[in-house]
Amino acid sequence: MVPLSALAATPRDIAEGKVWLLATSALVADRPWLPSMLGFVGVGLVALAVCGTAMTWATAALGHMVSTLLVYALVAAVGLVRPHAFQSVLTLSDYGLSAIIAAWLGAIASLEWKRRPAVGPRAAVAALCVLAALVGWLLRPDLTVLDLEHLVAFALGAALVRRAPAATARLAAQLRSKPAPIARSVRVSSWSGRAGL
């Protein structure tokens, strides 16, 4: 039986090149595990309903991995100036499920904020974000610098869904203006057949 801590990333492991732990740590819930799993399933279902399947998976992957790497880079940068500043977190097991939840919350909040410009709904969105942060803190009050991942993941999730419609519209415009090679070849072969070539 593999211990769960063996699947979690640590800043030291990633610095040593064990980058596969970024993927395995996303599969493991931190303590308390039951509320973490319930939160993951609940927020994931809401994200699927609000954001769609592709955006939900993209937000999960990027929110977890990019937030982890950015916070680890911060720890490493501070360590260059003050070598003993974050020694206590270098070997601390870091589970990724909560960062995924934070990224989904950011995506959901961003979309709902944009879709509902009235004061009441926006106040509700802000209140739900604060409530989610409070629940997370009550379940695990022993925060470290690594918990900055949650704020970064939230911001990444919010930014990703904001940028996606513009990127999708640009891609669609490019596809309309430049027919794909297959489409051109189909048109050419169709014309050749009619011309008897």
Could you report how far apart the first and last alpha carbons of the chain are, in Å?
A: 67
Which residue has tokens 């990127």? 167
pLDDT tens figures, 37-95: 999 999 999 999 999 999 999 999 999 999 999 999 999 999 899 888 888 898 888 88
Rounded Cα gap, residues 180 and 10, in angstroms: 45
What is d(CA 99, CA 95) in angstroms, rounded to the nearest whole number?
A: 8
Its pTM stands at 0.80
With contact defined as beta carbons under 8 Å apart, do 44 and 56 qualify?
yes
